[in-house]
Structure 1
Amino acid sequence: MKRSLTWVLGILTAVPLATMAQTTETTTPRAGLFGGSQQFRTVSIGVNAGVLMPTVPIGGSNDFTKWQLNYGYGAYVKWQALRFLGFRANFTGGKVKGDNSRELGNGNPPNRQYQSFETTLKWSGSLNAEFDVANINWLHKKPFALLYMSIGGGLAGYNPEVTTPGGVTTDYKPSGSIKEFFVPVGAGVKFRLSEALNLDLGYTMHFVDGDNFDGYNYNSPTKDKFSYAYVGLEFPLGSRSKPQLVWHNAPAVMYDDMVAQRDRLQAELAAQKEANAKVTGEMARLTADSDGDGVSDFFDKCPNTPQSEKVDGSGCPLPKDTVKPAPVKVIITEDDRRLVRDAIANLEFATGKSDIKPSSYASLDRVADLLIRKNLSLKLAGHTDNVGNDANNMRLSKDRAESVKAYLVGKGANPSRIEATGYGETQPIASNKTAAGRQKNRRVEFTLF
């Protein structure tokens, strides 16, 4: 029996080490952050071997004073529903032994009906919820180990045999196996050897709903229990291109996604800048106008045209018109002269100033319209009386003529066709000795031509 147990443990220890040596450099397939469970492997099977003991840390031993180690074996199928939660269907078998060779607390050997027991655990099946406590490695992106805890319920079939101090062995229940409900509570640590293999080290306590597991009831109010410590291998099923859900490190995936998105945006930005530079260069080439004729070099069929030269749409000079236009004869009618006379008669300035009074605007507007319509020229001559300084009178007459010109130009008349001159008091048309005469001498004469 010991040789068989040693052989099983040796196989379970050697295979992981050999697999680890071959797969530590394997690249883990990558899954997205919000891609759903279909991108992972969620179903796995496992086999294990270890030792069974008629004792647990919580509750101690059963009805015999000394417990022994004996071989055990097991297998399971697991479905990883969530990253931290899986459901595991377990099978466990083996033998559990104990005896009364240990002395009691008072130093006396126990005086009991049976000397030892051996229970054959023919089978035990349970459904467990397995909770992954932690698998995120903040130092590395790929987790290597995880801690887990499990709890569930199941049914065990076993056959106890008891041996008296005289060496007589009997079946506790000769008619057949005992079937009892039990609650398994366990913990363990799992190591990722590769994407195709995990190493599982675990310990499970089994609390039996009965006091018959060791074939003896020593007036104890507690029920029997046993434990199983094992080493095993877990094989995930499914496509090798998919990672295992249980090893999924969401923060690492989120970080990689953010880095990939940043790199992608930087590449797109660099490409956009390059495209913009090409467009800018092409626009500069299309809009360049070396000779300044208003036609870009790309379309200019006649480069180096002088800027003063008028050109067509292809940048070539327009044909010059050698025929001089016939002169247009402008006829000044009597109505035109009467309109000018009315403007002279209505023209009034502020006393001693060149400011035109608003009452003169209407007649000046008609003069401006006439100059525009017929393209006529106009000479304005300003005059004053002899009151005051001669130089001041000369300046005032010039300013009044210029004030009338500015008003007409402001209404749209051509300034090059209007001449404004001041004569001061040098050309009176009446005597300056009377007020009426001085009034006539203060005037601006309009001459059409």
Structure 2
Amino acid sequence: MKNLNSIKTGTFLTSLLLSGSLLAQTPSTGSSEYVKPFEPNAFRTWSIGVNGGAMYLGSFFGNDDYAGRKTELGYGGYIKKQILPSFGLQADYLRGKLSANRSNLINHDENGPIASFSTDLHWAASLSGNFTLANINFRKRQNFIQPYATVGAGLAEYKPSTTNTAGATTEIHNIGEVIIPVGAGVKFNLTKSLNLDLGYTVTFVNSDNIDGYTRGTNDKYSYGHAGLEFAFGNGKKPQLAAHNVVADLENDYVGRYDDLVKQLDAEKDKNARLEERFNKALADEDKDGVADLFDKCPGTPEKTVVDGSGCPLAERKPDVKVYITEEDKKVVADAIKNLEFDFGKTTIRETSFASLTRVASLLINKNFSLKLAGHTDNVGSSASNTKLSKARAESVRQFLVSRGANASRIEATGYGEDQPIASNDTDAGRQQNRRVEFTLY
């Protein structure tokens, strides 16, 4: 029996050690497993497990009281909350049996009465921290295997019974004790929601009575198990304990880098198009110094002097200085003196035509410019007077233009009653205020 336990223990340890090499062969699940870093509620964190396996007294190093220990059946289950990728809290339950015979009892009293024992472990409940030892694989991004270790504390209730050398059996009452379970194992991700769990746990009992034989050293028992773990929640979400968070960070970095490269490439293309349009807009095909975009007269001959719109400048005539003689002033003064309008109208009377015609000839012959300023008295409203003064000045302008004067050199303005030269309280004063002034320049 001892050899059988050694073989079982060796097989389990071998599988545990091989898990390290299997990590290097973990298959990648691809980008479908990517989770945005720090995304809340992106993982499944609750799971339950069921298991069964072999129980025996002591540990794989042996036991203190019996050498002829037997391997018995145990079974249990747990519920786990994964808090971090590498740490979770796990509530375990276990039930089973322990037994051994006295044939190989170590350091026993030759006259001792105990020949064998059998203990029913009614239940053992504990709360443990579950530490995932390797859930990161930098090469393959997603794990297939997660080695883990556990340590916790709890309570157990058991009932030992012993058989003496005469064959008499003694049952001891139910005993409850504090226990400290310490374990290790490895999980294989079969699907997104199902894991195969292989593990080994040594439970230290806070007493020396679980085997019915007291020597002063606290007892312990072992449980090697195989089981299945089922993850709760949305099947599209990965399990937190089996997920490679570092790969997420890398994928996020690579994705952001790729997006930035695309943005920079798009910006370069945009700038290249803008530069092409800019160069095209600044092109000057006719070499006149005005860009084609603003050139309103493209194709001007080389060395042509152009204005800001690219059109040829007209040849500028030299300025001619204007001299106004006394005779010129007399012609204008006669026109003013003889200027008469129909009462309240803008119609010029015929008696004024001759003197105005001489003014038109003067403007034509000497290329003078003329400003006409119309004025009225204060009879009537200010608005109507302004309108009338402007209209009379414009009437004189039209007459001069009709006689050949350059319209662009004659300006007509009306001031109404605002600039009197005499009192408006008398008829004579009002007559003087009703006038059109002529200013040559």
- Judge same fold: TM > 0.5, yes or no: yes
Cα gap change, 1:157 to 1:82, in 2 (>3 Å): same
* Displacement of 1:151: 1.3
Query: Which of 294-303 and 127-136 deviates more?
Result: 294-303
Partner SS, residue 241 of structure 2: helix
Tell me the residue number matched to 1:384. Answer: none
Instruction: Give the whole-Å Cα distance in 1 for the aligned partners of 2:151 and 2:110.
Output: 35
1:191 and 2:152 matched: no
Tell me the residue number matched to 2:327. Answer: none
Query: Which of 311-320 and 269-278 deviates more?
Result: 311-320
Partner SS, residue 205 of structure 1: strand
Identity %, equivalent residues:
42
* Displacement of 1:24: 6.8
Task: Map 1:420-431 onto structure 2 (within 5 A).
Answer: none
* Displacement of 1:33: 3.7
Q: Which of 249, 253, 256 lines up with 2:248 in the alignment?
A: 253
Cα gap change, 1:128 to 1:324, in 2 (>3 Å): closer
Deviations 1:303-359 (A, max 9, x none): 2112333334543334445x6644899xxxxxxxxxxxxxxxxxxxxxxxxxxxxxx
Instruction: Give the whole-Å Cα distance in 2 for the aligned partners of 1:24 and 1:290.
Output: 65
Instruction: Give the whole-Å Cα distance in 2 for the aligned partners of 1:309 and 1:104.
Output: 123
Tell me the residue number matched to 1:76. Answer: 78
Tell me the residue number matched to 2:113. Answer: 113
Task: Map 1:295-374 onto structure 2 (within 5 A).
Answer: 295-320=290-315, 325-326=319-320
Cα gap change, 1:114 to 1:303, in 2 (>3 Å): same
Tell me the residue number matched to 1:40. Answer: 43
Which TM-score applies when normalising by structure 2? Answer: 0.61
Instruction: Give the whole-Å Cα distance in 2 for the aligned partners of 1:236 and 1:63.
Output: 41
Q: Which of 225, 229, 232 lines up with 2:227 in the alignment?
A: 232
* Unpaired segments ≥5 residues, structure 2: 1-25, 324-441
Tell me the residue number matched to 2:33. Answer: 29
8 Å CA contact 2:28–2:142 kept in 1: the answer is no
Q: How many residues align?
A: 297
8 Å CA contact 2:144–2:188 kept in 1: the answer is yes
Tell me the residue number matched to 1:66. Answer: 68
Partner SS, residue 90 of structure 1: strand
Partner SS, residue 238 of structure 2: coil
Tell me the residue number matched to 2:160. Answer: 160
Task: Map 1:98-137 onto structure 2 (within 5 A).
Answer: 98-102=100-104, 112-137=112-137
Tell me the residue number matched to 1:217. Answer: 213
* Aligned Cα root-mean-square deviation (Å): 2.9
8 Å CA contact 1:103–1:110 kept in 2: the answer is no
* Displacement of 1:82: 2.1
Deviations 1:58-114 (A, max 9, x none): 6x3253331111111111111222222221110011122211233768xx9965423
Cα gap change, 1:309 to 1:24, in 2 (>3 Å): closer
Instruction: Give the whole-Å Cα distance in 1 for the aligned partners of 2:111 and 2:203.
Output: 28
Instruction: Give the whole-Å Cα distance in 2 for the aligned partners of 1:63 and 1:324.
Output: 133
Q: Which of 272, 294, 297 lines up with 2:267 in the alignment?
A: 272
Which TM-score applies when normalising by structure 1? Answer: 0.60
* Displacement of 1:26: 5.2
**What is the one-letter code of the residue matched to 1:46?**
G
8 Å CA contact 1:62–1:225 kept in 2: the answer is no
Deviations 1:185-205 (A, max 9, x none): 111122223321222211111
Partner SS, residue 245 of structure 1: coil
Instruction: Give the whole-Å Cα distance in 2 for the aligned partners of 1:234 and 1:103.
Output: 39
* Displacement of 1:250: 3.8
* Displacement of 1:166: 4.5
* Unpaired segments ≥5 residues, structure 1: 1-22, 330-449
**What is the one-letter code of the residue matched to 1:30?**
Y
* Displacement of 1:35: 4.0
Tell me the residue number matched to 2:412. Answer: none
Query: Which of 261-270 and 141-150 deviates more?
Result: 141-150
Cα gap change, 1:104 to 1:80, in 2 (>3 Å): closer
Instruction: Give the whole-Å Cα distance in 2 for the aligned partners of 1:328 and 1:307.
Output: 37
**What is the one-letter code of the residue matched to 2:201?**
T
1:52 and 2:55 matched: yes
8 Å CA contact 1:50–1:230 kept in 2: the answer is yes
Q: Which of 237, 244, 253 lines up with 2:239 in the alignment?
A: 244
Instruction: Give the whole-Å Cα distance in 2 for the aligned partners of 1:54 and 1:183.
Output: 15
Instruction: Give the whole-Å Cα distance in 2 for the aligned partners of 1:325 and 1:26.
Output: 91
Instruction: Give the whole-Å Cα distance in 1 for the aligned partners of 2:73 and 2:60.
Output: 19
**What is the one-letter code of the residue matched to 1:84?**
S
Tell me the residue number matched to 2:141. Answer: 141
